[in-house]
Amino acid sequence: MLLSGSPAVTLAVHQGIGTIRLDAPPLNVLDDRGRDELRRVVEQAAERPDVKAVILYGGRNKFSAGVEVRQFATLTYSEMLPYALRIQETFTAVAEMPKPVVAAITGFAVGGGCELALTADHRVCAANARIGLPETTLGVIPGAGGTQRLSRLIGVSPAKEMIYTGAVLSASRAKEIGLVDVVVPAGEVLATATTWAARFTGHDRHARGDASRIRLRAREEGGN
């Protein structure tokens, strides 16, 4: 359990790479505090000139279980809307980061954790990890932009199948359908993500910004 006063999300910068670490054991659930800290850290990474690329990382054994969706089961739409809007805004801030972002997925990335991974430009996944959107099995739907991002990434039909069934996929299956880009042994996830991010640390910041705008335009028009 997260100790009072301990940060749920941190930013560490080394050699041009900013690692955004989710640190809210045992599941890295993004509650109100975690969501707000993630937004703050993402904004810091976007603004800092010494950060050239970003890694999203939840630790050696887990990425994130997202939000505690069971809390929404008894809420009305009007009660749930403010929270949904805030988490959408936070994840959009990641997706619109003017720097390359890689998700280093270990253990599990489910629900909002999967939606967070979908905001990245590249996904490195541990061979023993699981990833998916099980919200429908709990009586709610993905609410942080994951339905749209998933459809753009893997196609409408496969995305519908995942969302309707609430399937949680193995790393190998996720790789087959294009949900993740690279599958590596669990102990190599962070190193592999770091190698990917390091490719961009020498790039001109204006060129990175232009590339990010092209990337966002492609996403809006239905690309990946």
Closest CA to 29 of 6, 47, 13, 9: 9
- Model confidence over 43-98: pLDDT tens digits? 999 999 999 999 999 999 999 998 776 666 667 778 777 887 888 999 999 999 99
- Say what the pTM is: 0.87
Residue type at position 211: A
d(CA 172, CA 182): 9
Asked if 60 and 26 count as a contact pair (C-beta separation under 8 A), the reply is no
State the pairing for strand pair 17-22/9-14.
Answer: antiparallel
- E strands, 107-159, are 108-110, 122-126, 130-132
* Segments in 119-170 forming alpha helices (H): 146-154, 156-165
Catalytic pick among 79, 89, 135, 161: 135
pLDDT over threshold 70, residue 38: yes
Residue type at position 79: E
| CATH C-level class of 9-220 | alpha beta
Let me know if 79 is a catalytic residue: no
Query: Would you kindly state where each structural domain of the chain is located, as residue ranges?
Result: 9-220
Let me know if 115 is a catalytic residue: yes
pLDDT band at 1 (very low <50, low <70, confident <90, very high): very low
Catalytic pick among 115, 161, 188, 220: 115
pLDDT band at 114 (very low <50, low <70, confident <90, very high): very high
